[in-house]
Amino acid sequence: MENLPPSFLIVVLIVLVVVSGFFSGSETAMMALNRYRLKHLVSQNNSNAKRVLGLLQRPDRLIGLILVGNNFANNLAASLATLLAIQLMGSDHVALAASVATVVLTLVLLIFAEVTPKTVAALHPERIAFPASMILVPLMKLLSPVVVTVNFVTNNVLRLFGIIVTDSAEDHLSSEELRSLVHESGSLIPPRRQKMLLRILDLEKHSVEDIMIPRNEVVGVDLKDDLDHIVNQLRTSVHTRLPVFDGDLNNVIGILHLRNTARFLLQDELTHETLEEIAREPYFIPEGTALHTQLFNFQREKRRIGIVVDEYGDVLGVVTLEDILEEIVGEFTTNFAEASSQEMLQDEQGYFLIDGTASLREINRILDWELPIDGPKTLNGLIIEHLQAIPGPNMCLETSGYLFEILQVSDNRIRKVKVRPASGEGN
């Protein structure tokens, strides 16, 4: 090798630097790939993605192959660089030639075989990894004995430290990690769809109590009422399904679908006994049931409405399938903003006139506020919890960063309230 011309050594050195850069860039690109996008491409029968995923199934072997190739190229380049330096500087300066070759080659490898290719690979992993895999796969087969031997020794060394190297583990995302991915999707997912995805993830954070129609607002058929009143109620009802009870909502007999009453109403044959017969048995839901669980329960039970009960069996309210779906897609059966427009008008001081029974979560959603929802569910409950007493009219208070002016109180409940952010910024 001492007789090799310098020009030939330089060409070989350039080739070795390129090879070293190839292996360095390939390693970074393979590790920087988005595994979920890669699996998506595999499901689309992308041949490049399938080839890369096959390599990543055994990352220990892939890294072993890359390091074998990289170290071979670097060590051979170091030897040739030293030989070239000796030829150029003379055999009388071997130590100086070796030092110069080491410094120069280190800089060249660092710039052109490490930093530059790895930076490009990190920025564009697919553009590097996919073409590189076409070279790495045959190399893996060609150098398989060497790679397997290196991995065998390495894995046994790791086993001494309690580290067991097996096939790569499956990638899993927690709900919070998935939430971050949705937030970071940017323009790839339209804002409306982002909200829907985030609301689906939020279902597990809320229970049926958060969205149920409270007991005092439940509309149902009382069998104690006279028949004319019941018939008029059924004919004018805006609801499709109504609870049927005997005197008190705790005595629920069943759920009545108005479709089943049509022929009796037309023939004036409706009786109290008929109502009991055509009403479907009630479906009870324990308080505290998470919304995502209840959504599947509705699907499994083939139900669209349930009665929420506490630990003593007392009725707390009613929740429907539509209520849960609206938590995901927003209002679609009724528009809360339009229906409540008379109660949420803004005055010149920035106050909103809101009904005391309004849900805090609905207020936050409509006005983009941040009223606390981890305690009371309604505006009335929030104020009473803060005061620890039932207030009188014309009382003002500030809590949770909002100003409240109580306008009307009756039956131990706050009926009308004026609210605005304490900062004075309205919607």
Asked whether residue 427 is assigned to any structural domain, the reply reads no
- Residues comprising the chain, all counted: 427
Residues in contact with 408: Cβ distance below 8 Å, sequence separation at least 6, in sequence order:
393, 414, 415, 416
Asked whether residue 186 is assigned to any structural domain, the reply reads no
Where in the sequence is the domain holding 352, given as residue range(s)? Answer: 336-421
Q: Mean pLDDT for each consecutive 10-residue tract of the chain (427 residues)?
A: 76 94 94 88 91 88 91 92 85 82 92 94 94 94 89 83 63 75 79 86 88 90 92 90 93 93 82 91 94 94 94 93 88 50 70 88 85 87 90 88 91 89 66
Same domain, 383 and 365: yes
Asked whether residue 343 is assigned to any structural domain, the reply reads yes
Same domain, 155 and 23: yes
**Is the separation of the CB atoms in 422 and 403 below 8 Å?**
yes
pTM: 0.63
- Taking the CA atoms of residue 190, residue 196, residue 197 and residue 199 in that order, the dihedral angle to the nearest 10 degrees is 140
**Is the separation of the CB atoms in 339 and 223 below 8 Å?**
no
Give the distance from CA 168 to its chain's centroid.
24
Asked whether residue 138 is assigned to any structural domain, the reply reads yes
342: domain CATH number? 3.30.465.10
Same domain, 15 and 141: yes
Same domain, 291 and 366: no
Same domain, 397 and 266: no
Q: Which residues pair with 286 in a beta bridge?
A: 309
Q: Please state whether beta strands 305-309 and 315-320 pair in parallel, antiparallel, or not at all (unpaired).
A: antiparallel
Same domain, 372 and 309: no
Same domain, 222 and 310: yes
Same domain, 399 and 300: no
Asked whether residue 189 is assigned to any structural domain, the reply reads no
Helix, strand or coil for residue 347? Answer: coil
Residues in contact with 147: Cβ distance below 8 Å, sequence separation at least 6, in sequence order:
61, 64, 65, 68, 140
Asked whether residue 96 is assigned to any structural domain, the reply reads yes
What ranges in 109-204 are assigned the alpha helix state H? 116-123, 125-142, 144-160, 175-184, 191-202
Same domain, 29 and 69: yes
Asked whether residue 241 is assigned to any structural domain, the reply reads yes
Q: Which of 297, 313, 329 is the last residue of a domain?
A: 329
Asked whether residue 316 is assigned to any structural domain, the reply reads yes
Residue-level pLDDT at 87: 84
Q: Which of 329, 352, 381 is the last residue of a domain?
A: 329
Domain count, the chain: 3
Same domain, 393 and 417: yes
Same domain, 234 and 315: yes
Q: Which of 142, 160, 178 is the last residue of a domain?
A: 160
Residue-level pLDDT at 368: 84
Residues in contact with 127: Cβ distance below 8 Å, sequence separation at least 6, in sequence order:
29
Residue-level pLDDT at 65: 92
Same domain, 151 and 11: yes
